[in-house]
Structure 1
Amino acid sequence: MSIVTRTETLVIDTPEGNRNIAWQMWQHPDKPDAPLVICVHGLTRNRHDFDMLAKVLAEDYRVITVDVIGRGDSDRLQDGQLYGYPLYVSQMMQLLEYLEEETGQSTCYWVGTSMGGLIGMMIAALPNSPINRLILNDIGPVIPLAALQRLGEYVGKAPTFHNIVGIEHYLRIVAQPFGPLTDAQWQHLARYSAEDTGGGVWQLRYDPQIALAFAGLDSDIDLTAVWTAVECPVLVIRGAESDLLTADTANDMLMREGTELAVIPGVGHAPVLMDDEQISLVSEFFNR
């Protein structure tokens, strides 16, 4: 029997009042009590980055893919200064509370790419964390300033496009570190990375105000105190050419008991978790 999906919105509390966030459930109809897997995307991305992964994992898990506020189908904020990890963690905790009420499951596995990994790390570091296993996709506790500045150069821009071909061309440039993707994978990313705003003008599906979080950064980010508080098993996936998760940081992370490292050759920031090999890394870690 084929995997079934449904997309919903959840009203969450924010400093601006109630806002809607979008999330999607992937599930095998014969496994209603399957364990939860939460998938959270990178800085400018959205839940559809996990479509291929979710389809595979849903054979054994109830998979939840999420649009973080300000991205995808989730609401934007009026005050861009509010975008940041306190709100992102709050959003996900509110979603987890809702999912516990709906499913009766109080624990989950978590796979997070970049920003989504940091959110997961912060939640995994909490006392009595709901996260039992954590995958950090190309992110760690130390983030070099130079890499943050590279991201900041394009995140705050709001380019427009006239067709899907232009969107794909743009992504092949700014997302070149994703590695040697197939044409079908690039086309999938392009399809869900922008939306028609009317009159044949397409815009990227994130609020450019998320770039305000980069303003004033003048040093590396160091979340070692958060990382050392994580107690669950962790798989770190690193793109071999990544500038955001350096080899030194990844190797230092192995000093924490219960941490494993997988390095993807020919890829920078970040592995897209779309091909069979990368998907197998995720499923094998969760299936233990």
Structure 2
Amino acid sequence: MKGVSPRKAFVANVIAGAILIALAIALWRDPGLVIRAEFAKQRMLLGARSHESMIGDHAWAWVEIDADKPDAPTIVMLHGYTGSKENWYRLARALKGRYRIVIPDLPGWGQSERKPDADYGYVAQSRRVADFLAAREVSNGAPVVLLGHSMGGGIAALTAARRPDRVARVGLLDAAGVRFADNRFGEGVLAGRNPFAVEDEASLKRYMDTVFHDRTAMPPIPWPVDRIYIAQRKRDAAFEQRVLDRIGRGDERFLPGQEAAKIEQPALLLWCRQDQVIDPSAMALYAARIPHASQVLLDGCGHMSLMERPGETAEAVVLLIERGAPAGPPADAP
């Protein structure tokens, strides 16, 4: 280094080497540090604050984004199977400022507590969500706008149906919980397999190709994040299978759709035409139970509407909140 004495250069190199060694040791002890660091960066860019609290029978982790006005409605977002709160960040960015936004990791997933023998089916999770919505630090006891995606959609439907005192409006995005038309994913679930299982690079690619139709919307998974993610999913395989057995083949697998007939709050049903997981036929099944719900069918996207089409999804959510989502036939959004 020009203008730097050999001694100073030596000291700088030693410090840099020590930092690299410390980082290597930290990653060896905790490989998930890389993913958590990336999530932390996303959270900071979003302007969200992290929270942790014991609510009901589990410790919950969630993020919160303040609204520009203190009296703005609160939106609570529930992620899907194998998902986490980070799945909602793109949609949250599109709604930021207008509403107070609360995004939890559901119990058993992400950074929230997981118990070895606990039930993580629709009924048990909807009870936990009701407790979460009642917590003063979450909603101050006031009813909220509850959005649910995929498995989270089934939980949201059941919660809205059974606890209208906690849910003022409900939005179901590509929601599970009804007997939709047969597709490869559904047939795999009924056969006892986990079509979302990730064990290696090939199955990771298959998983991503299944949930995303718009490949430009896929989040990048560079090395070594891909290896860390694959290892984590392999460790979670037994848990994932147990939950899928409950929500995909158990007695309560269609309970959200059945109970949806009790939903009287303003409601939104939103699907993507190319969804390979929860076939778009599910929207009509939910609409038959919630005839007053507005229906939005997006084109050019798959199962991850909240990530593939955050702008159009945000517009539908705004209508749900501001206008009460008047009933009508499916509207194709661009």
TM-score by length of 2: 0.68
CA-atom RMSD in angstroms: 3.4
Q: Secondary structure at the match of 2:241?
A: helix
Unaligned runs of 5+ in 1: 161-165
Contact 2:271 2:305 in 1 (8 A): yes
2:254 alignment partner in structure 1: 222
1:75 alignment partner in structure 2: 113
Once the two structures are TM-superposed, the CA of residue 94 in structure 1 deviates from its matched residue by: 1.8
1:93 alignment partner in structure 2: 130
What number of residue pairs does the alignment pair up? 267
Q: Distance in 1 between matches of 2:301 and 2:252?
A: 22
Q: Distance in 2 between matches of 1:130 and 1:237?
A: 22
Q: Secondary structure at the match of 1:31?
A: coil
Q: Distance in 2 between matches of 1:261 and 1:283?
A: 14
Q: Distance in 2 between matches of 1:44 and 1:102?
A: 24
Unaligned runs of 5+ in 2: 1-44, 324-334
C-alpha distance 101-279 of structure 1, shift in aligned 2 (>3 A): closer
C-alpha distance 231-205 of structure 1, shift in aligned 2 (>3 A): farther
Contact 1:44 1:155 in 2 (8 A): no
2:240 alignment partner in structure 1: 210
Contact 2:46 2:89 in 1 (8 A): no
Q: Distance in 2 between matches of 1:222 and 1:4?
A: 37
Once the two structures are TM-superposed, the CA of residue 128 in structure 1 deviates from its matched residue by: 3.6
Which of 10, 13, 21 is matched with 2:60 structurally?
21
The structure that is helix-richer by fraction is 2
Contact 1:241 1:266 in 2 (8 A): yes
Once the two structures are TM-superposed, the CA of residue 3 in structure 1 deviates from its matched residue by: 6.3
Query: Following superposition of structure 1 onto structure 2, how do residues 38-57 of structure 1 map, counting pairs within 5 Å?
Result: 38-57=76-95
Which protein has greater RCO, CA pairs closer than 8 Å, 6+ apart? Answer: 1
Q: Secondary structure at the match of 2:53?
A: strand
The structure that is strand-richer by fraction is 1
> Are 2:173 and 1:137 aligned?
yes
TM-score by length of 1: 0.77
Once the two structures are TM-superposed, the CA of residue 135 in structure 1 deviates from its matched residue by: 1.0
2:193 alignment partner in structure 1: 153
Q: Distance in 2 between matches of 1:119 and 1:219?
A: 15
Contact 1:148 1:214 in 2 (8 A): no
Q: Distance in 2 between matches of 1:71 and 1:137?
A: 19
Contact 1:123 1:129 in 2 (8 A): no
Who wins on radius of gyration, i.e. which is larger? 2
The superposition leaves residues 163-212 of structure 1 with CA deviations (integer Å, 9 ceiling, x where unpaired) of xxx6xx754421323211426x422x789x97959xxx842398431321
Percentage of pairs with the same residue: 21
Q: Secondary structure at the match of 1:38?
A: strand
> Are 2:264 and 1:264 aligned?
no
Which of 258, 267, 279 is matched with 1:234 structurally?
267
Once the two structures are TM-superposed, the CA of residue 43 in structure 1 deviates from its matched residue by: 0.6
The superposition leaves residues 205-228 of structure 1 with CA deviations (integer Å, 9 ceiling, x where unpaired) of 984313214448389943343011
C-alpha distance 69-253 of structure 1, shift in aligned 2 (>3 A): closer
